[in-house]
Amino acid sequence: MQKVLQAVADPIRLSLLRQLAAKEPEEIPCGVFDLPVGKSGLSHHFAVLRMAGLLEQRDQGQQRLNRLRREEVEAAFPGLLALVLRDDGDNAARS
């Protein structure tokens, strides 16, 4: 649980997860994400999400495809993804 919470605490990784969730069940190539980081930074964020068990990557030709591991995460931590992926302006916890 600690790895998962640390992974989703970062705004870049949270954005990655939200972008993946918005395209489900599609698999998204690494180069398609709209994020303000370079390739090496993006690789780091993907690795953190993969190690936390939130993301699955697979190579297809010269592309690396990504998918949210929704079923697996939901089985391990029921309701967590719904809370994490909810985009309520990120201010609900501050109000």
In this structure, is residue 38 part of a structural domain?
Answer: yes
Asked if residue 31 is part of any domain, the answer here is: yes
Range of the domain at 38: 2-85
Q: Is the residue at 81 inside a domain?
A: yes
Q: How confident is the model at residue 93 (pLDDT cuts 50, 70, 90)?
A: very low
pLDDT of residue 89: 63
- What is the mean pLDDT of the segment spanning 3-20? 95
Look at residue 44 and tell me if it is in a domain: yes
Structural domain tally of the chain?
1
Q: Give the 3-state secondary structure of residue 62.
A: coil
pTM, rounded to two decimals: 0.86
pLDDT digits (tens, 9 = 90+) for 41-92: 999 999 999 999 999 999 999 999 999 999 999 999 999 999 999 876 654 4
Residue at 30 is within a domain: yes
Give the mean model confidence (pLDDT) for residues 5-9: 94
Residue in 12, 14, 32, 33 with CA at minimum distance from that of residue 88: 14
In a domain, 92, yes or no: no
Helices 11-22, 39-51: axis angle to 10 degrees equals 80
Residue in this structure with the two tokens 């964020």, named with its chain if needed: 45
Helices (H), 1-92: 2-8, 11-22, 39-51, 70-76, 80-85
